[in-house]
A and B are shown apart, each in its own frame.
Chain A
């Protein structure tokens, strides 16, 4: 079948890869890049429920209500989905499991649980005796704050990645550390400065490629762990690059930089999507569409100045259409707005309030699906990947 996947985050990339592996002719259309590169470079499955930290995500999934994105998928298929993704991304980049969460330090010294993390991070799960080393020129890891919250000692190294640059990003360091000579100087400076502690926590900038961190660890001669920073998130970029390499190798056709602006339908079936490209709007024909455009933060779900909530491409029915009262004043409070989204049936198709498919061949995946505040419960990648596989595996249903 000719499949169109809309969106290039964890859900869109997973859906495209799964569909092309099943032998479909897949075209991925995305307004821009995004998703994985803005993440921590880990796979969250589920880590918090009703204010309690969760150790066993799959056990907790069984207790979720029917409105949750995992509902109807079930623990076994969630396990299968995240294992599939971790396998495609590869053990050089992801280790762990959905059975038990790893608990890892963040850049402000909080402890954050996640199911799969990068090999460069996981040494921090085995101990709480840390030494924190920051880089003076890199403002995104406040070593003293972090160490204070972790009850650890901290130290700084002073090592510009590029002479004369006042405000380097994480990526500037990650690129510089691909040069073995700079990596050695970096490692020597860390070795000299690091206070005592079982594991040295370092900014998550240890190379753009998987494995670069090992050279640095070996040169330092002590256990180290990368701590993910704010974007540009180097560990997130590694996951994105691995997934993009996989869809390219499978010859998924990618149209990037173009927004899907509408659709064409024949009765209860979509026949194609309309895409705004340079100079005009054109149609790409499709036998089925997997809509994985993200939620409110990507603009796929929109709130206008009157509080009206809409899904922008297909005008899909949502669990709520009025944002009044759903946005709370404090940044850190729950935001019920983010639970608003599209409902899906057991095959992943977008459905109306009567649980009937809006179109027989329109599937949804990822953040557009209603029922969870993913950053609070830490289920973003897991819900994205599990719903993406449900959609890709359900394609025959709409044929």
Chain B
């Protein structure tokens, strides 16, 4: 069996090393390096360290990179800093071994399947201090880290009984809710479907499993590759050439670019899905710019702090959720402009990284506490859990407000 190093298809990422002019813009914008000296910064572990990473890993501080991708986003020279670092970390972890904890916490679909039928019990356990102390000691998930809330009904089970409120006038789109949307953030998934149907689309929802993003960021590249390939087939089964609309901010990014750039998957099927993938806010704002979005929004007199997650920002779409929410009369949107909330998928859950994650998110949490009037908005599930747990402010997907302003809330 060839080693991970031999199987990686990352030469294109490594070629970008030579574009680095050492301008330090990545260092300036990294959210982790300022709060801990355990991470020496994206330039040091990336364009510098990578040159020495031929046979063996040379730098273990790379494990403290949170994979937020900010370094790649701000690089003016086109160096794939984050991708190089993700691959370097996977290689390092293959050498040093991946802890059981990191193999467990990436199985989000399995967690959802197990927890949904016993939701009250699962929630009671996750909210029990003694159980959480035991969980920290045994598997290394920090006792105070945000955990998903189990729901007694999965999205799928709601969808099976669901009928659209009115006939479609605009043709079909495929809906991608992600595994968190399927089991934990079920309301977000339902609201997205209802908004799409309200504005006239026929919504198709193929069965869908995990995209593998969490496995990827924990260095489990084989598992991640299998997951994303299987999801690609599922999404393609719903129909060719249809747009795929996502309410799962970071999972959409996995399909659009991360699986190709980090896992090195060059399949035309993946490229096809990436080409058709739209974030829900991006999709609705594109309709608006084309003059095709109904704007019969009811007033929502409220100020809402909005945080765009790092992994949504890295998709290069601008900040469509903020633009979209601003279409609602009375809704004052205050962007956080924070680099990252500190959870970065599974990073901030881990016993040894929890405090770092809290420091990364500190300014964001203070901003949310200072500006909210009952709600905060954010596009990605784990970031919402992190913000809500750290601020006690109810944190929703931006579609919550669109759904409400269209008068669809029950």
Measuring CB to CB, which residues of chain A are less than 8 angstroms from any residue of chain B? 27, 30-34, 37-38, 162-165, 169, 171-172, 175, 231-232, 237, 248, 251, 253-259, 275-280, 285, 294, 297-299
Contacts and interface: CB of A to CB of B under 8 A. Distances in A.
A253 B314 contact: no
A256 B23 contact: no
A27 B317 CA distance: 11
Given A171-B34, A257-B316, A278-B316, 7 more contacts: A27-B318, A31-B76, A171-B27, A255-B317, A255-B318, A279-B315, A299-B77
B318 A33 contact: no
Interface string B15-38: 000000101110111000010010
A277 B279 CA distance: 12
B42 to A, nearest CB: 12
30 contacts: A27-B318, A30-B76, A32-B76, A32-B77, A33-B29, A33-B74, A34-B23, A34-B25, A34-B74, A163-B37, A171-B28, A172-B34, A175-B34, A232-B24, A255-B317, A256-B74, A256-B316, A257-B316, A258-B316, A259-B78, A277-B315, A278-B253, A278-B314, A278-B316, A278-B317, A279-B257, A279-B274, A280-B256, A298-B77, A299-B78
Given A231-B24, A255-B318, A298-B76, A280 B313 contact: no
A15 B27 CA distance: 27
A12 to B, nearest CB: 11
Contacts of B94: none
Contact of A237 (B28, B319, B326): B28
Most buried by B among A31, A164, A169, A257: A257
B158 interface: no
B56 interface: no
A253 B289 CA distance: 13
Nearest to A293: B76
Nearest to A33: B74
Interface string B300-328: 00000000000001111111000100100
A32 B77 CA distance: 7
Interface string B239-274: 000000000000001011100000000000001001
B137 to A, nearest CB: 28
A7 to B, nearest CB: 9
B25 A32 contact: yes
Interface string B270-290: 010011010000000000010
B191 interface: no
B77 A256 contact: no
B76 A33 contact: yes
Contacts of A162: 37
A232 B76 CA distance: 14
A271 to B, nearest CB: 13
Contacts of B73: 32, 256-257
Interface of B: 21, 23-25, 27-29, 34, 37, 72-78, 253, 255-257, 271, 274-275, 277, 289, 313-319, 323, 326, 335, 337
A345 B50 CA distance: 46
Contacts of B28: 37, 171, 232, 237
A285 B291 CA distance: 13
Contacts of B78: 31-32, 259, 299
Contacts of B275: 279-280
Contacts of B76: 30-34, 294, 298-299
Contacts of A285: 289
Contact of A257 (B21, B74, B271, B335): B74
B37 A280 contact: no
A151 B37 CA distance: 37
Given A232-B24, A232-B27, A285-B289, A254 B319 contact: yes
Contact of A277 (B21, B25, B316): B316
Contacts of A251: 326
A87 to B, nearest CB: 23
Nearest to B274: A279
A278 B257 contact: yes
Contact of A253 (B29, B323, B337): B323
A164 B38 CA distance: 10
Most buried by B among A33, A259, A298: A33
A163 B37 CA distance: 9
A146 B74 CA distance: 33
A27 B253 CA distance: 22
B134 to A, nearest CB: 33
A38 B75 CA distance: 13
Contact of A248 (B27, B37, B335): B335
A275 B313 CA distance: 15
Contacts of B313: 256-257
A225 B96 CA distance: 49
B321 to A, nearest CB: 12
A253 B77 contact: no
A139 to B, nearest CB: 14
Contacts of B72: 257
Contacts of A232: 24-25, 27-28
A379 to B, nearest CB: 21
B74 A253 contact: no
List the 3 shortest-distance A-B pairs measured between CB atoms, nearest first.
Answer: A279-B256, A279-B274, A32-B76
Most buried by B among A162, A275, A279, A298: A279
B337 A248 contact: yes
B248 to A, nearest CB: 14
Contacts of A27: 318
A165 B61 CA distance: 13
A361 B313 CA distance: 29
A255 B37 contact: no
Nearest to A230: B24
B78 to A, nearest CB: 7
A172 B27 CA distance: 10
Contacts of B271: 279
A164 B27 contact: no
A298 to B, nearest CB: 6
Nearest to A28: B318
Nearest to A161: B37
A278 B315 contact: yes
A298 B78 CA distance: 10
Given A162-B37, A175-B34, A37 B25 contact: yes
A259 B353 CA distance: 33
A34 B337 CA distance: 17
A256 B275 CA distance: 19
Contacts of A37: 25, 28
A286 to B, nearest CB: 11
Contact of B316 (A169, A276, A297): A276
A259 B74 CA distance: 11
Most buried by A among B77, B277, B335: B77
Contacts of A30: 76
B24 A277 contact: no
Contact of A164 (B21, B37, B316, B323): B37
Contacts of A169: 24, 27
